[in-house]
């Protein structure tokens, strides 16, 4: 049963991460403000979709997880993993396209089961699908389109179930210590332990980074003048800023605010910002 009480409490805790502003949180999770308010006030009888829950978990800054939300909303039981739920959602995203190709429901469900129940060492999915489609529907324009769709689904599911394809760890930096909340799909760096991703917790660094934009960090402790870095201040909170040295004083420059001076002994460099994913583009630092 959908636990409206617990779901409301979780949303209230998440909202505190957004200065108790319902509009900010609604924008972050791609939900209408009025709908979000109804969930907070326990006036919605049915839970949001798993896709929305995934966004809420990602925007929660470590307050909750996707698995917890799926449990609270009665989507997930002890026999179903969150990976399976995500795989089913991927299949559902393409269901309308497949239905247009006149594939009967029994065959469609059989194909989805093959895709959803694969494991990370199963390399034969493509051949299984190809053989099944050709045997039951022949080779024609529709089956070529179908196979392309299923190949796309298969790759997306493999990105979920294969650890090496999950990308680099994504952290919330709203609290100390950092809390890992997900993975950021930057696969070219996924086998290099020197890269992490974090969610920006303010708009101080606009236009480079806004609230909840993603910063990719190359972790090292070097303090180099002019770098935009992730830092730990007073061993209590994290921030992203540009370092500008002035004698024995370290100034942290926020492009959307002002200089703030901190003594060098009060900060620890976690790493340099090398890539940003903001609402307008995925670009290298300092790009157009």
Question: Residue range 152-164: average pLDDT?
Answer: 73
**Around Cβ 86, how many Cβ atoms within 10 Å?**
20
Residue 18 — pLDDT band, cuts 50, 70, 90? Answer: confident
Distance CA 226, CA 223 (A): 9
pLDDT score recorded for residue 280: 40
Q: Is pLDDT above 60 for 147? A: yes
In b/e form, how buried is each residue of 236-261, taking b as 16+ CB within 10 angstroms?
eebbbbbbeeeeeebebbbeeeeeee
Mean confidence (pLDDT) of the chain: 81
- 215: its two tokens: 């910063």
Q: Give the predicted TM-score (pTM) of the model.
A: 0.43
Distance CA 196, CA 188 (A): 12
In whole angstroms, how far apart are CA 221 and each of 27, 192, 231, 276? 34, 17, 9, 20
Q: Is pLDDT above 90 for 88? A: no
Question: Residue range 172-183: average pLDDT?
Answer: 76
Residue 187 — pLDDT band, cuts 50, 70, 90? Answer: low
Question: Residue range 41-60: average pLDDT?
Answer: 83
Greatest CA separation found in the chain?
76
**Around Cβ 46, how many Cβ atoms within 10 Å?**
9
**Around Cβ 287, how many Cβ atoms within 10 Å?**
10
Lowest mean pLDDT across 20-24, 74-78, 170-174, 235-239? 74-78
Per the document, the length of the chain is 288
Distance CA 254, CA 251 (A): 10
Q: Is pLDDT above 90 for 5? A: yes
pLDDT score recorded for residue 135: 92
Predicted confidence (pLDDT) per residue in 197-217, tens digit: 998 888 888 888 888 888 999
Question: Residue range 114-120: average pLDDT?
Answer: 82
Question: Residue range 144-156: average pLDDT?
Answer: 90
Question: Residue range 42-51: average pLDDT?
Answer: 82
């Amino acid at each position: 049963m959908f636990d409206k009480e617990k779901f409301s409490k979780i949303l209230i805790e998440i909202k505190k991460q957004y200065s108790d502003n319902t509009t900010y949180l609604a924008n972050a999770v791609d939900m209408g403000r009025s709908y979000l308010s109804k969930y907070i006030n326990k006036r919605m009888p049915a839970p949001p979709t798993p896709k929305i829950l995934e966004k809420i978990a990602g925007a929660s800054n470590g307050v909750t997880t996707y698995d917890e939300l799926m449990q609270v909303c009665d989507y997930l039981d002890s026999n179903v993993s969150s990976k399976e739920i995500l795989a089913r959602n991927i299949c559902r995203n393409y269901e309308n396209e497949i239905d247009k190709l006149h594939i009967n429901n029994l065959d469609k469900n059989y194909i989805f089961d093959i895709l959803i129940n694969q494991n990370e060492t199963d390399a034969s999915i493509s051949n299984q699908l190809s053989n099944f489609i050709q045997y039951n529907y022949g080779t024609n324009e529709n089956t070529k389109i179908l196979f392309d769709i299923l190949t796309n689904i298969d790759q997306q599911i493999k990105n979920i179930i294969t650890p090496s394809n999950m990308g680099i760890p994504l952290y919330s930096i709203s609290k100390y210590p950092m809390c890992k909340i997900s993975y950021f799909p930057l696969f070219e760096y996924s086998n290099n332990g020197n890269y992490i991703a974090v969610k920006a917790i303010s708009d101080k660094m606009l236009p480079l980074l806004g609230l909840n934009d993603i910063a990719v960090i190359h972790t090292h402790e070097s303090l180099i003048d002019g770098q935009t870095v992730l830092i730990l201040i007073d061993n209590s909170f994290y921030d992203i800023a540009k370092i500008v040295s002035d004698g024995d004083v370290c100034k942290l420059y926020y492009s959307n605010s002002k200089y703030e001076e901190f003594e060098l002994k009060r900060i620890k460099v976690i790493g340099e910002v090398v890539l940003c994913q903001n609402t307008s583009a995925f670009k290298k630092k300092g790009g157009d």
